[in-house]
Structure 1
Amino acid sequence: MLPRIADSLSFLYLDIVRIHQDDTGVCAEVTSEQRGTETVYLPTAALSCVLLGPGTSITARALATLARHGTTVLITGSGGVRCYAATLPDSLTTTWLERQTRTWADDAQRLAIATAMYEMRFGTHTVPPGTTLEQLRGMEGQRVKALYRVLAQQHKIGRFRRAYDPASWDKQDPVNLALSSANTCLYGIVHAAILALGCSPALGYVHNGNQQAFVYDIADLYKAELTIPLAFSLNTSANPEAEARRSFRDGLRLFRLMPRIVSDIQSLLDPDHTREAPDPEEHLVDLWDPVTGTVPGGTNHAAAT
């Protein structure tokens, strides 16, 4: 089923807990020196995505219950940053994956979505009709350079040039180190949101030829707002990478980034989407037909031949 964006519990992050199933439901055991062991029951039916951080263990029975309720389970880094693995329930709708693949495979639709992504960065109705993708890339480059220049002046660090060189990582300046670290965090969160929708991280519209192509597409929508200003604010930090990760993680609740990412992906893939996903309890799978479209599954079609 589609993640319930309006529900504040659509995405739940847990760490340093033991998750198991008892006779009542799925619960998390939290142990601390001050309060001992406490049990918190999880509203599994109201969750679309559970992110399991460091120090988390979960039993097979609890995982099976989450799968029955259509909940995506992600193995993540601290604070939901970075996505290492995911378990997708078989009841997760393919609605958004199908829309993604159809628009990605059609050059005209792919160009339209790539253009919409750039327009989301520039502002609504700011891209003149007939603007080519090459021109959009140039406009985006100018916008980012202007932002670098303004932030460099604000923080009095002189001229800034973006550099990413893994071979000489330790020789980079604090802003570049912080920016690379914060972007990595952002990629993990975007990856988690894409998987929660059932989309493919590999099918990008602007980026291409990488298993993270769609992740990079979506992450680029937020860098100017989130990671770039954060990186410049750490220009005097002695440990910019760690501080960037902590600051970005601490600001996640303020940003309400997860629901925003999912909403943006949905509006890009289907701007007029109003249809709800079919209830997986009603039918588990449909059949495809090149003439009639979707055909109900679970039916003997011998009489139709």
Structure 2
Amino acid sequence: MTTPHPHQPTNDARRKLAKPTLAMLPRIADSLSFLYLDLVRIQQDDTGVRAEVATARGQETVYLPTAALSCVLLGPGTSITARALTTFARHGTTVLVTGSGGVRCYAATLPDSLSTTWLERQARTWSNDTQRTAVATAMYEKRFGTGTAPAGTSLAQLRGMEGQRVKAHYRLLAQQHRIGRFRRTYDPAAWDSQDPVNLTLSAANTCLYGIVHAAILALGCSPALGFVHSGNQQAFIYDIADLYKAQLTIPLAFSLHASTNPEAAARRSFRDGLRLFRLLPRIVADIQDLLAPDTQHTTPDLDEELVDLWDPVTGPIPGGTNHASSTGAPT
């Protein structure tokens, strides 16, 4: 049996050094956008999480910046070990299982959320019809621009205004790129037969949904409690993603109409555009502004919190404390 050199760390020591602390992890607003992987094996070693990629030159290893990724999309042919998946969850990285090219989301992990503050605020607002209507209206107004919708406009009228706005946007971009008449269609069963603009738009929207999903989970909100959309586990994701499509994914799709590989081009161009758009901090700020419009907010840091206890009279009280002295001994 060999004895390790006194200055050489053991496997246990390397694992402890590699394990992140809360202070080491970046805020969601500072994270990178997303990473799409397919036909790889992802596993954890003593150094970090690595992807084993089979290339013409043989097997190659690529280490992944797990602590700086907000979202990882796992495409077909991907396998991942339990240890690697645990590391993603510990870093707060959302892992989505998708179809080819990141199209359609089949499953997603839920990283640990350190606070339920925003989830409780979301649930209270969602369950009150008056407040839910106010948030839905504010979402439409964010798309139109402040002051565009007259006061007292109903949700049905706002839906009609939104439909006309999107149609006009499609028509303008089609004219600019000399495409001719364009009609938005999405048929997962006939994915490869779509025209390049629809194909690019669907691929870019899937990436956008993944990033929005990651930001929602990082705040501790529920992706299912939507205000405009309803009846789907991703309803709130669709709500928030719709705020940015007209500025991000729709113009991108038309600009790539002549691409020979529109799906791959969409992911690369979308990622580059996010650096300029600074989407993650904007998503966080928009969600906070929608759920608490009259409150000043800061981007949440990863601060460790104990679980509180609920009391119907006083509200939340500190957990991790023996309350026997305040309740008295049982009779």
**Letter matched to residue 171 of structure 2:** R
Shift of 1:128: 1.8
**Letter matched to residue 270 of structure 1:** A
Q: Which residue of 2 aligns with 1:155?
A: 177
Q: Structure 1 residues 268 and 21 mapped into 2: Cα distance closer, same or farther (>3 Å)?
A: farther
Q: Which residue of 2 aligns with 1:74?
A: 94
Match of 1:296, SS state, is coil
Matched, 1:114 2:149: no
Matched, 1:92 2:114: yes
Q: Which residue of 1 aligns with 2:27?
A: 4
- Is contact 1:4-1:10 (8 Å) kept? no
Shift of 1:207: 0.3
After TM superposition, the structure 1 = structure 2 runs for residues 47-62 of structure 1, keeping only pairs within 5 Å, are: 49=70, 51=72, 60=83
**Letter matched to residue 74 of structure 1:** T
Q: 1:180 aligns with which of 192, 197, 202?
A: 202
**Letter matched to residue 199 of structure 1:** C
- Is contact 1:17-1:28 (8 Å) kept? no
Provide the C-alpha distance between the structure 1 equivalents of 2:256 and 2:111, rounded to a whole number of angstroms: 37
- Is contact 1:81-1:188 (8 Å) kept? no
Q: Which residue of 2 aligns with 1:264?
A: 286
Give the length in aligned residue pairs. Answer: 291
Q: 1:130 aligns with which of 152, 161, 172?
A: 152
Provide the C-alpha distance between the structure 2 equivalents of 1:71 and 1:255, rounded to a whole number of angstroms: 24
Deviations 1:213-269, CA, capped at 9 Å, x for gaps: 111111111111111111112333444334323332343323322222222212211
Instruction: Give aligned-pair identity as a percent.
Output: 64
Provide the C-alpha distance between the structure 2 equivalents of 1:195 and 1:126, rounded to a whole number of angstroms: 31
Provide the C-alpha distance between the structure 1 equivalents of 2:308 and 2:257, rounded to a whole number of angstroms: 54
**Letter matched to residue 223 of structure 1:** K
Q: TM-score, normalised by structure 2?
A: 0.71
**Letter matched to residue 150 of structure 2:** P
Q: Which residue of 1 aligns with 2:19?
A: none
Match of 2:210, SS state, is helix
Q: Structure 1 residues 279 and 150 mapped into 2: Cα distance closer, same or farther (>3 Å)?
A: closer
Deviations 1:63-84, CA, capped at 9 Å, x for gaps: 76776xx631322479999765
Q: TM-score, normalised by structure 1?
A: 0.76
Unaligned runs of 5+ in 1: none
Provide the C-alpha distance between the structure 1 equivalents of 2:43 and 2:185, rounded to a whole number of angstroms: 42
Provide the C-alpha distance between the structure 2 equivalents of 1:101 and 1:9, rounded to a whole number of angstroms: 26
Provide the C-alpha distance between the structure 1 equivalents of 2:265 and 2:151, rounded to a whole number of angstroms: 42
Unaligned runs of 5+ in 2: 1-21
Provide the C-alpha distance between the structure 2 equivalents of 1:252 and 1:150, rounded to a whole number of angstroms: 23
Match of 2:258, SS state, is coil
After TM superposition, the structure 1 = structure 2 runs for residues 130-279 of structure 1, keeping only pairs within 5 Å, are: 130-271=152-293, 272-274=295-297
Deviations 1:144-166, CA, capped at 9 Å, x for gaps: 11111111111122222222233
**Letter matched to residue 114 of structure 1:** A
- Is contact 2:288-2:297 (8 Å) kept? no
Q: Structure 1 residues 133 and 248 mapped into 2: Cα distance closer, same or farther (>3 Å)?
A: same
Match of 1:75, SS state, is strand
Match of 1:202, SS state, is coil
